[in-house]
Amino acid sequence: MNNSNQQIEDFLDGNIIDKELILFLKEKEVDMEFAREIDFRLEVNEAIRDKDLLELRDKLEQQKGQNSVGYPFTNFRKDLLKTWHLAAASFALILVVGGLWYILSNKPYSTEKLVTKYYKPAHPILQIRSADASGDNALNEAFKFYKLNDYSNALNYFVKLENQITARFYSGICYIELEEFEKAIESFNFVVYDKDNLFVEQADWYLGLIYLMNNQKAQAVDQFNKISASESFYADQANDILKYLN
């Protein structure tokens, strides 16, 4: 099993935590092929809850080593798609998104296209534990709605924990999805100014994307220049965006 494959398996099994989890999710955000594999596996896992399907998955796992061409899991998708309609719908969506990315990569980028290419809501971190039981329950409830893309209800819980970095970061994502950009900027600035947390680089990145969404080109250029000149995980992506903005 190659490293990417093992990483996905560890993630699905809940074996990636703390800093390794943050790095894993960052890689998912910038590597679209890797992200599609993860999303595909998550949807498949949702579809294989009963015993018979679990046995079928195990058989397919044994067969996958015989397929040597392409990205991990690609060659045995046909078998999976015949069995699970949910997975089929997911795969069809991947093809559509892939076509969109091809189109975007061969045409000049507008601000909208840059946002479409580089923006994706942060993946929920389910292993986070807060300092008290009530805070832990609030985070669990928030992430339950967040996973359903119900950002309004998720935000109702995140705002109850406004002094927690995790809650403030994901509040920012919810505000983006609700197009409340000023509140999103406030949330991400709270994270950035704190400095001593794992979300600083991501918060800086989303600030730049918010400026693009809100047609604040000058602020976007400043923000991506800051990221590009740093040792941020997003430095290369920021530099790519600047090529289109300058």
State the pLDDT confidence band at 65, using cuts at 50, 70 and 90.
low
- Please report, rounded to a whole number, the percentage of residues in the chain having pLDDT higher than 70: 61
Please tell me the pTM assigned to this model.
0.58
> Residue 49: helix, strand or coil by DSSP?
coil
The confidence score (pLDDT) of residue 189 equals 97
What pLDDT shows up at residue 69?
A: 47
Quote the tokens at residue 179.
């197009």
Q: Are 59 and 80 in contact (CB under 8 A)?
A: no
117-245: CATH class: mainly alpha
How many Å apart are CA 58 and CA 186, to the nearest integer? 47
All residues at 6 or more sequence positions from 139 whose CB lies less than 8 Å from its CB, including other chains: 128, 130, 157, 161, 164, 166, 167
Number of H helices, E strands in the chain: 14, 0
Mean pLDDT of all residues in 68-95? 47
pLDDT confidence band for 129 (50 / 70 / 90): low
CATH 1.25.40.10 domain residues, the chain: 117-245
Place of tokens 């300092």: 131
The dihedrals phi and psi of 199, each to the nearest 5 degrees, come to -105, 5
| d(C-alpha 74, C-alpha 83), whole Å | 16
For the ranges 37-46, 75-84, 115-124, the one whose mean pLDDT is highest: 115-124
Q: In this model, does residue 33 exceed pLDDT 80?
A: no
Q: Which residue has the higher pLDDT, 161 or 64?
A: 161
Q: Give pLDDT tens digits for 145-196.
A: 999 999 999 999 999 998 899 999 999 999 999 999 999 999 999 999 998 8
- The end-to-end CA distance of the chain, in Å, is 43
